[in-house]
Structure 1
Amino acid sequence: MRGLNMAEITVVGSINMDIVALTNKYPEHGETLFGDSVKLLCGGKGANQAITCARLGKSVNMIGSIGMDTYGKVIEKNFQENQIDTKYLKRVENESTGCAIITVDAAAENTMLVIKGANDSLNVRDIQAAFSRIEESKILLIQMEIPEAAVLSAMTEAKNKGMFIILDPAPAEGVTKQALLYADLITPNLQETKQLTGIDVTSIETAIEAGEYFNQHLGVKNSVIKMAEKGALLYENGKLTFVEAIPVKAVDTVGAGDSYAGALACAIADGENLESAVKFAAIVAAIKVSNLGAQTVPTIEQINKYCEENNLSYYRLQTNQ
């Protein structure tokens, strides 16, 4: 087993630097407005999910690609400070690190323009090389912001190793139905659900329709259909559970879905059932949207304090810290 890696959770996905501009309202086409402030923050769906798992006490592999530039150095240092294994990071000279230009308005809603950059350099050979050294990882957490060939390769490798595969089918623009064939659980939001099923989810009833469509037509037995402030529907091979959202004053919704997916992975890695995992994820995401930045994920101590103050409970989280 010498030279092999045994992190509990393996994340494959995008790594970006987020340029976040805060403004009272979005400018119209051709309009110039003065915003409130701008911040440079580490981001990318894959990186956000890896940071979530690490801050919740799990050992994490991160497989992704960055440029050999200033942003790449900052991001790699951020991973290391959060005890994330970076040996599987690809560093490319001819591409800049991925970048997301994000605008957040007074209602905490956001628009996002993503420049993939080095993320598009991740290929099948990189995936196979990484997985050849990974053992005992329980969970694969993956999204759709990297090339589809790399996504499918990672899911195939994980399936061969008996890992539980969580697919966050985001963004909607990048979703392909082929990837669904390997997923043990998917976590689409409203836009992604409509993209994949054609169903406009506006209620629990239409969410159930979507869950049944995933199962009967796309072969996905387990799905968590995220309905934003309305809550989430867990469709578990025909069993239905609705989990209400936790009411909070949202500051920044960027990365909310990533913190949700990361929390799910942590709970499932601990052997929790899907209902327990979804309830835990709702707590983590609620705390995250109360703070600015895609990676402002709460620690276990902060979660415990929040639950005590709000009369909430969750399973006892196992950690390696």
Structure 2
Amino acid sequence: MAEHDLKALFRRYRIGKGGGFRLAGHDPGGKGGVDFGKAAGEAMLALGVERLSELQQLLYADGRWSVLAVFQAMDGGGKDGTIRQVMSGVNPQGVSVHAFKQPGPVELGHDFLWRIHQALPLRGQIGIFNRSHYEEVLVTRLHPELIDGQKIPGALRGDQFWKHRYQDIRAFERYLGRQGTVVLKFFLHISKEEQRQRLLARLDDPSKNWKFSPGDLKERALWDGYQDAYEEAIRQTARPKAPWFVVPADHKWFAHLVVVQAMIETLEGLSLRPPTPATRKELEQSRHALQQDT
């Protein structure tokens, strides 16, 4: 498949305008009609990782921009594996990875975006969020008792509460964009049957038992509610400069390709350049000094 065809293929998963978005229109088992299989896809991924590594070095040298890649998924959706595969060739000095668990007492004493702001990438870095501020309009919608723990005044928890949360997230991401942080959001979209198979695999393989928690089944029972919550979150917060990518994730290799291609296109679109080098005369003087330093 030609390079331009590949780019066109993966752009179909980009949601830049959330109005009217429907998750039902996105097949978690789809592969966009590609005419290659897993082996060819993995070879293409290796080339993509190599290109991403080159761009990450240029991002670091340029030093003006940063990229924040947010990963969200149902349990078993493949966040860890996708992050590991896509970032496998990138210099660790140029990447920061944060996995967000349930907030602790200190975090609950602040606003819900406080801990997110602490973890943002430096200029020149790619920041990876394994779960993120979107838990505050996903998990909390299915578990409203978690909002109780945030001790928000009752007067602020009326009918407009969720509307205001979406507004705050949009404003936060718009603010980041205006400061030079490009926000990309990936929803690794798996089917309910694929999740069942992956959870079973965790039970069947002793080396993966640690990944399984009885709580996974409780969350799975809320599947439909989570699908609605994801749909609404994407609808409310997908914007041209903070897009969502609804990534078909039943085939892990294809999900990895979509993510790496999205990151490559984003970095290529930043017109990155290293700092202006010294003049030719200064370079030659430095070369001469080093040659004489024996």
Larger Rg: 2
Please give the TM-score of this superposition, normalised by the length of structure 2.
0.29
Return the structure number with greater helix share: 2
